[in-house]
Structures are given as C-alpha cells and as structure tokens.
Chains A and B, each alone.
Chain A
Amino acid sequence: MAGHIPLQQTPTTIKVTTVSQEPKAIRWTLTFIALAFLALFLVLPLVTIFITAFQKGWETYVAAITHPDALSAIKLTLLVVLITVPLNAIFGVMAAWAITKFQFKGKNILITIIDLPFAISPVIAGLVFILLFGAQGLFGEWLFEHDLKIVFALPGIVLATIFVTLPFVARELIPLMQAQGTAEEEASLTLGASGFKTFLLVTLPNIKWGLLYGLILCNARAIGEFGAVSVVSGHIRGMTNTMPLHIEILYNEYQFSAAFAVASLMSVLAIITLIVKNLIEWKAKHT
C-alpha cells in the first residue's frame, strides 16, 4: 500500500535454509545459550527491579512513588519530555529537509554536527552548559544580573536533554527522505500547492512512520538521560531532580525499596515505549 518506509533498525528477515539442516542438538544448544544469556542479562535484572520494589509490600511501594519528592521528579521528567520531544521533532524535520531537499555548501559539516551528541559523553555535554551558563561561566554574570536561571534549573535540564537527544529524529529521517527524493514535492508545486501545503499533504504523510519512530527513541532517551542532566540539575530535591536522579539519591540513602519502586515505574515506561516502537514498525511494514 501507500507508505513503504525502510526503517533502518528493522533487519530484513532472510530465510536461512542451511542452518535448519544442522543437527537438532546444535540447534537446541544454540537456542538455549542465546535464551540463557538473555535471561541472565536482561530478564533477571528486570525481574529483580520489580521483586525488590515490592519486597516490603504494596503500601511501601505506593508510599515511595507518591512521596512528594518522587511525584515532583516524575512531573519534572514528563515536563522535560513534553518540551524536548516536540522541539527535537521540529529541528529534526527541518534539518532532514534542508539536508535532503536542498544543495548547499557545508552540508556534510551539518550532518557531522548532528551526530556529535552520539560521540560526546553526556557528562561533557552537561559540563558544556555549566561552562556557558554557570556562575563562573561565559554568560554567568550577565544571566545573574538579569536574574535568569539556566543551570540548576529547568532550562538547563531541558538544554542538556535536547543536546543528547538531538540526532534521533534527524538521523531517522535523513536516509528515508533521501530515498524518497524530491519528485513528489515538485509534482505538488506544479499542481499549484504552496510550500507549506506540500509539506503538510505530501512530505509529512510520507515520513510519518519514520518520524514517529525517531520520536519514540528520542522520548525513551529523554526519560532516561542521567549523565548530562545530573551535571546541570544540581540535585535539588523536589525541584530539579528527574526520575533517574531521584532513583540515585534514594539508592545512596539505602532506601532500596523506594529506589526500585521508582525504577520499576521507569521500566514500565520503557516497556511501553518498546511495545509502541514495535507496533509502529509493524504498522509501517503493513501499510
């Protein structure tokens, strides 16, 4: 049907006939090893999170996640996601559009810069913002004079999160839009549509699954980001703690059940994200 979007992360299923001719014993052993490995390194920790979270009973669990500090951390995390994901969507689409539909000098530099956050350690990303906007930073004095808070406040956390999640949408869209070319947009223009209508009616429907996929990945990273946010947040309880930071604090205070309770909540969010991601992949393949 209409959209065939080659999602980069989806490996094409290749029917392997030679392997199935291997003796049964080898097949079973290989399958067992793979499953055991998965169980040991992925399932076991995940189960541990939930077991530890509920170790001291349902009441403790509820108390832990309804504690004002926990609630404030959840709220802050969701707020950061709500700000960063749409901004990244806009930036990602614009960058991918510019790179794939226009010819200009410095295109390769732009592509490289978009990848920068993948290469740089999140801690360094956080530090950059401290050096720029911190009290001793480049703009620190000016910000202080004008009573603007960036570092150790919401704007800093948002900036750091945007920085680390920047490539997700653009990276997803660039190969997709490159493969689709510009002919449909040109057809739309010659049929009398404006640039904006062309984007809305032709480009957007063609990239929607790729865009959603990028947003899901961006969303997952924005919820879970620890390093960069940890540097700029200042760990002010009930103020600038996101969920990952809150978990760390609880853990350091030996409140294991509470820490794992919040962690279980994050795990649920992650699992939901995975399910949505798979649904989108399935949808993209079947439309």
Chain B
Amino acid sequence: MSIQIQNVSKAFGSFQALDRINIDIQTGELVALLGPSGSGKTSLLRIIAGLEELDQGAILFDGKDITDVNPKERNVGFVFQHYALFRHMTVFDNVAYGLKVRPRKTRPSKADIQKKVTELLKLVKLENFADRYPSQLSGGQRQRVALARALAVEPKVLLLDEPFGALDAKVRKDLRRWLRKLHDDFHITSIFVTHDQEEALDVADRIVVMNNGKIEQIGSPEEVYDHPNSPFVYDFLGNVNLFKGRIQNGKLKHGSFEADIPELFSQNHEEAIGYVRPHDIQIEKTKISEDAVHTTISHIHIIGPIVQIELKRTDAEEFLEAEVTKEHYHSLQLKVGEQVYVRPKQLKVFIPEDFSI
C-alpha cells in the first residue's frame, strides 16, 4: 500500500512538532524517519497510525483519505518503542490478540488462529516460548514478539517506533538484518523511526531526515550521506570537519587554507562553511597543493580496521578529524606530534542563511 503524507502539521501547545510535512511512500518501500529527539519523527509515525490527531493536512493510503479513520480500522501494524506487550498474557495470547478481538463474522476459527500464531512464532524463532510471559523474555525476544503480534493482523503498513533503540549493539545488528530480510520477503510498506544514522543507512530504502518538525532531505542512503543538502544533514549523518571562512574570488579562505569553489564566484565576501567528512581528508607528509593545511597530530585512535587521527591546525585554534584505513596508516608511519599536511578530497560549502548555527 502506498502512503501519501500531505501538508501535515501538528502542534503540542506552543511547540510545533510537525510543520507542513509532505512525503510520498511507494508500495513495498522501507523508509526511515531519521532525526534527533524532538524532531517530530515519532509524532509523524503516530499520526500515520491514527494514535495522534493532526491539526492540518491529510494522510492517504492508496490514494484514499484516511485522516479521520479510527486507528482500529486503518490496518496498520505498530511496533512500539518499549514493545507495549500485554504483560498479563502469554506470548501466544499476545500474538493471537489481534485475531481474537475481531468481530465474530471475520474472526478466524480457533484452529486457524492456533495455526497462524504458531507460524508467526516460528518466523520470529520463538516457537518454544509460546507459554512464557513478556517479563520472562529478553529485550530482543520481546521485540520479536511485538513484531509477530503486529504481523498477525496482516497489516498493509508496518510502523516501527525506534525498533532497536532499547537493545544492545550485537542484538541490534542481528535484528536489523532480520527486519530487512523480513521486509524483502513480505513486501509490506514499512516506516521506522530512528535517531541512529547507522541504522537508517543500513536498513532503509529511503531516508527522510527530519529536524525541528521539518523535512531536511529525502533520498536514498547513498544520496543523503554523500550529497547532504544542508549543514544539518551533513552534521547529523556522521562526523564532519568544518572550515569556517569567507568567499573571495571563488575561493573559500580560512587562515592559510584556500579551496577553489568556482560555483560560488558571485558570492564574494560572503561568510561560508566548508564541510568535509573525516574519511575525505587526505594526509600528506609534504605540501603539494594550495588547499593543504599544516597540522600537528595530537591523537591517534585505532578502532579495529579504522584509524582516527586528531589533528591540530597550526594556523588556527581548531581541530580536524581524519579517518584512514589501517594499511594506509602503517604505510604513512604517522606518529603523535608529527607535522603533516591535510587536504580535503571532497568539500561541500554552505553559506549560512542566518548565523544561528
């Protein structure tokens, strides 16, 4: 089922949680709503589920306006952040709940419910836990029960609120892969909310980056990571180095640093900030080009196969962060205190509209 979110706004008192949001989601897509807390992503998810009313705008399922439809008639599967399992019911009864509460006409027979629930428990690998209570399960198991329960009603849309937020790193990664596989097998249109950029980049077909109730950027993981359209997206998706300077004759100048930005030739004397990802920083022992900056290595962290290098610029009281592979690090033979030149391989310049950043 496709979902259209049209011009949706929502305020809680004086706080504007959502401000004219427009998103088109195709059938079978897996979309991540990514943003910091307070960006409105959970409110949007709850509005799609019908758990929250919107102030303005419309939600369309398959082109049909369902803005005023009761949540129980929307046929969405919702997985809550803290699972919201029925604590007084066994795992089996939790999963069977959505089928048991149907009106008599559409309710499956007892045998059918039994079959369906067993099938789902097998799918989430919990067939041996049917008689347990939620409090007797681990976080990852509860999460899977919550998923099975949501899937039992055969929803056309699956909505997940911070689905892996409360789990430890290892379980989180496993469940992430598992969710991706589940989505590929069932092709249910799915939207999940997360504040973890890695999770969004890893799982989603498309990412909606939100901030302060507004959409910053919509695009594939590659698009939003490699071509962020705003400083916020740059900052939020991974680490970033800033080169705050001024545009002069098509060059961004800051201290001894100079980079060619031909497309900004007309924006003379404008304040501008250059954004560079740590892995786009080239470390050289000698100065080869104009845009190389003289720095001193202040710290080296080796994290598995990746080496993070903290550098202090000699022309300014500013630090830069570079990321290189271990091989490259060994071939350069870098040491703390060594003087090196760094050069951005890829630099994106934004001119701040107002100096609120």
Residues of A within 8 A of B (CB): 1-4, 183-184, 186-194, 197, 201-202, 205-206
Contact = CB atoms under 8 A, between A and B. Distances in A.
Contact of B82 (A183, A188, A193, A202): A183
A190 B150 CA distance: 8
Interface of B: 49-51, 70-78, 80, 82, 84-89, 97-98, 101-102, 133-136, 149-150, 152-153
Nearest to A183: B84
Given A188-B101, A190-B78, A205-B88, 14 more contacts: A183-B80, A186-B51, A186-B78, A187-B84, A187-B149, A191-B101, A191-B152, A192-B72, A192-B75, A193-B97, A193-B98, A193-B101, A194-B72, A206-B87
A4 B134 CA distance: 12
A192 B149 CA distance: 12
Given A191-B97, A191-B149, A192-B101, A184 B84 contact: yes
A52 B49 CA distance: 68
Given A191-B149, A194-B72, A2 B87 contact: yes
Given A1-B133, A193-B72, A186 B84 contact: yes
Contact of B51 (A189, A197, A201): A189
A191 B95 CA distance: 10
Binding site secondary structure of chain A: helix
Contacts of B98: 191-193
Contact of A190 (B71, B86, B88, B135): B71
A170 B347 CA distance: 63
21 contacts: A2-B87, A2-B133, A2-B135, A3-B88, A4-B87, A183-B80, A184-B84, A187-B86, A188-B101, A189-B51, A190-B49, A190-B71, A190-B76, A191-B101, A191-B153, A192-B73, A192-B101, A193-B101, A194-B101, A201-B97, A205-B88
- Most chain-B Cβ atoms within 10 A of its Cβ — which of A3, A186, A190, A194? A190
B61 to A, nearest CB: 14
A3 B78 contact: no
A197 B97 CA distance: 11
A182 B82 CA distance: 12
A206 to B, nearest CB: 6
